[in-house]
Structure 1
Amino acid sequence: MIYLIASIAGIAGLLFGFDEGVIAGALHLLRAEFTISPLAEGLMTATVPFGAIGGALLAGWLAGPMGRRKLLLGAALLFVFGALLSAVATSLAHVCIARLLLGLAIGVAAMIAPLYISETAPARIRGMLVSIYQLAITLGILGAYLVGYVFSDSWRTMFATGMVPGLILFFGVVVLSDTPRWLVLRGRRDEARAVIARTQGLPRDHRDVVAELREIEKAAAADEAQGGWRDLLSPTVRPALVVGMGLFLLQQLSGINAVIYFAPTVFRLSGFDNTSTQMLATVGVGCVNVLMTFVAMGLIDRIGRRKLMFIGFAGAALSLGMIAVAAGTGASDLQALALVGLLLYIAAFAVAIGPLPWVMMSEIFPLHLRGPGMSAASITNWVFNFIVVLTFPVLVEAIGLAGVFGIYALVCLAGLVFTARLVPETSQVSLEEIEAHLKAGKPFSALATRAPDRT
């Protein structure tokens, strides 16, 4: 049952990836139909992350009173409506408004879907299950690239295709219950117990069900007199806020969405002149993204978050440096170096930098501050997503592709230092144990993985 729940919630990630990636295939058609300057191109592309900032704020505000399920249903309807408006757009401004709505839906879903999975999943497989969301993002990006290749002469068809997964998400969430932790917070103890039992495939009076419910109630009771955005800055919670926001800042400034949104442009600037070749290479990027996310799912609960993050940042820094060298020389015989560098970068991102901020965002905040905390982390994600996507065409024109990717490589080196000094190990640790560690005032990075249960 838990895998079905994670898969349904993960459709929100597929829509996230599709609506981000579909612009890559549509951009050259939109350029031909509308007059677009580099700044206008950046603004049009950046409407999605800009809308997502509002979505993250909305989700942080409503996650408590409305619950996780209702917000996912609302996001699904926005996905459908936004895709429809995009497909019938008659001007560049119309396209921007439609994609702003899609961004709003993504901002809500990107916070609520990982939260929904995390608050429902057992600790031993929580990282892998939350990673389903990141896997779905990569599948959505790949699907968008394939749609762009198949419907290369119709940007309207590309956009309209996004209505299908939006409808699937809506009808999938209709059959789900809310999370046991939210139900406990709302005083609905019996419903929470039923959800735990159904999720684990156990009787309602089984000792594991009773024990988990007791732990959730204990954490909820301890938090009852607290809560609010100001509490995120308290000495005990601030380390979680720094990690949650810091990981997303580094994730975005590593340049991933410059690649996702502008992949054909990156290949063109790297020396691939044929449009069809650019799109095929872009599909190859999507395939590597998906395959390496499967690798991440297999490793995330086995070797831990910190080790994977070190691997991801080191690999990304090296590969971005390769792209910068290839682009800086401009030699045609270095096209292969640029392609290998880009594929290695996508692999390093997909195995660590991509999924881990989503996983850890859903783990590290105390129960009473999970909504505001995840909202703050999500807002960081979307603000810097917006900045990267908006500035990429302008920066490339100003300092060239080599300079831009050189900056992204330096950010990844900074990520190694950040991970070493501040990031905790949350693998195999229950949400309640993470919260207890924070409240004890111990250094957050001192949190260690407990020995896995072999029984």
Structure 2
Amino acid sequence: MVQTEAGQAAYRPNLGYVVAVVVIASLGGLLFGYDTGVIAGANEFLKTEFHMSAATTGLVSSSIDLGAMLGVLIAGFLGDAFGRKKALSVAGLIFIASSLISAFAPSVGILVLGRFIGGVGIGLASLLSPLYIAEVAPPQIRGRLVGSNQLAIVSGIFIVYFVNAAIVSSHTTAWNQTTGWRWMFAMGVIPAVIFFVLLFFVPESPRYLMKRGRESEALAILNRVSGPDRARADAEEIRESLKILPDSLMQELARPGIRKALGIGIVLAIFQQFTGTNAVGYYAPMIFKAAGAGTNASFYDTVWIGAIKVAFVIVLMVIVDRVGRKRLLVWNGGFMALFLVILGIAFSMPHMITWLVLALVFAHTIAYELSWGGGVWIVLSEIYPTAIRGRAMAIASFALWFATYLVAQFFPILLQAIGGTWTFWIFALFCIAMAVFMQRVVPETSKKTMENIQRDWLRSERNP
């Protein structure tokens, strides 16, 4: 049964219930953002406390990405075998453990271990939170609801930037070098506990339940989301979509349309990290200090980055279903390239202009959050068939975190070896390639049901 756009618009979902469920699921994204962003505040003090080289600094930052690579590999299995909700609960426990291990780490080795464990939690949350939201959300507002996960991620980054700045400004440098950075990590326990407890109050994904043959439970959830008439239609469409393809990843990947979808997802995931956003996120205070800002000023400038991220993810949520995914990603890929080129020029000046560097970093952040930040996660959560969505997203997310690891590990080394100018210009070239790829290869998915998107891939096999 195919639902037309007119049919989709003819009913009103239970927004209060859907929003409550989505907010709780999005807390996984908030923890993702907190654990990713905390290192930006701790890096300078860790370098002194543990006498770290540039390579060791990169390892401490990137160890979370290595953990995330493992996390996304097991996330697909856990999500498909035990359910999205239970797998997210495991992520919550992992976040708690990681925060405590990192806060009490007596050495670089234990700190790397704590960061790696946190990365496993991030890998789980980065895949399962948007996947869960996409499977619960009504199609006509799915983009903005999945975008709420990106809002949660940048809110976590903003919160941790603020926490870092508050800790740094309220104590001496010596105290921050021995103790302050530990409090930065320890504060992550609070949202992790809240996330774990609230997950007891959300339902399982109805699409997962349908896949496991638990149709009466799925129908009850769909009924609460959309009302009885729409729930029956949605259940029938999900049931039919599960019949189209076998429940085997390798068998499905033998089909050209599905292989194309997987390939597009992998490329988009890699490109998201080669925007340079995590280079700025992990090392923002170092960048601002290199441009001439003092220690406290550089931390408060970083807080502004977090605030800008939150504001413009909200803008993305408002416009993404109206403007479409494709247009936003193409346009802003070009804008990011422009800002990075100018940023490279700014770093080549004999006397860097602090306000110019700050303005360009802010502009790059705005363009990223209006497009590739949340947009990639939205597309990844939409383009795969229900039968293999968890495992296919795991493959694409693994590629994303591998790219994140490369950026985090080698960015400080590149800055030291070739300088800011060439480093930022390399990222600019990737942004140009991203915009071209998005324009020429990736279809628009806005306002389509997930089952209709699946049918589009299968039709492309007959019309290559």
TM-score (norm 2): 0.92
| Residue pairs, 1:101-116, within 5 angstroms | 101-116=117-132
Match runs of 1:135-150 below 5 Å: 135-150=151-166
| Secondary structure, counterpart of 1:301 in structure 2 | helix
Cα distance in structure 2, aligned partners of 1:330 and 1:140:
36
Q: Show the counterpart of 2:261.
A: 240
Task: Please list the CA deviations of residues 82-122 of structure 1 after superposition, one character each: whole Å capped at 9, or x if unmatched.
Answer: 10111111111111100110000000111001000000101
AA in 2 matched with 1:353: W
Structure 1 stretch displaced more, 102-111 or 367-376: 367-376
Q: C-alpha displacement at 1:416, in angstroms? A: 1.2
Determine if contact 1:135/1:290 at 8 Å carries over to the other structure. Answer: yes
Answer whether contact 1:271 1:330 (CA < 8 A) is retained: no
Mapped partners of 2:88, 2:435: distance in 1: 34
Q: Does 1:48 align with 2:70?
A: no
Contact 2:32–2:122, Cα closer than 8 Å, also in 1: yes
> Where does residue 263 of structure 1 map in the other structure?
284
**Unpaired segments ≥5 residues, structure 2:** 1-16, 169-175
TM score, norm. by length of structure 1: 0.94
1:443 positional shift: 9.2
Greater helix share, structure number: 2
The residue correspondences of 1:368-447 to structure 2 (distance < 5 A) are 368-441=387-460
Q: 2:241 aligns with which of 219, 224, 234?
A: 219
Aligned equivalents of 2:63, 2:350: Cα separation in 1: 32
What number of residue pairs does the alignment pair up? 438
Q: Percent identity?
A: 36
1:158 is aligned, of 166, 172, 184, to 184
Whether the aligned pair in 1 keeps the contact of 2:330 and 2:436 (CA below 8 Å) is no
Q: Deviations over 1:178-208 (max 9, x none)?
A: 11110001000000000111123x2xxx221
Alignment partner of 1:359 out of 368, 375, 378: 378
Q: Contact 2:269 / 2:376 at 8 angstroms: preserved in 1? A: yes
For structure 1, the residue ranges without an aligned partner over 5 or more in a row are: 447-455
Equivalent residue for 2:363?
344
Q: CA deviation at 1:421?
A: 1.1
Whether contact under 8 Å (2:340, 2:427) holds in the other structure is yes
Q: Deviations over 1:191-246 (max 9, x none)?
A: 0000111123x2xxx221111111011111223x3422463353121221122111
Which residue matches 2:301?
281
Letter in 2 for 1:48: I
Q: CA deviation at 1:62?
A: 2.2
**One-letter code aligned to 2:300:** L
Deviations 1:281-315 (A, max 9, x none): 11111111111111100110011001111122011
Counterpart code for 1:436? R
Mapped pair 1:168 → 2:194? yes
CA–CA separation in structure 2 for the residues paired with 1:443 and 1:318: 39
Q: 2:313 aligns with which of 284, 293, 305?
A: 293
Q: Deviations over 1:14-52 (max 9, x none)?
A: 100100111111111111211100000001110101100
Contact 1:84-1:163 at 8 Å conserved across structures: yes
Q: What is residue 181 of structure 1 aligned with on the other side?
A: 207
Counterpart AA for 1:130: V
Kindly report the root-mean-square deviation, in angstroms, between the aligned alpha carbons of the 2 structures.
Answer: 1.4
Post-superposition shift, 1:175?
Answer: 1.3
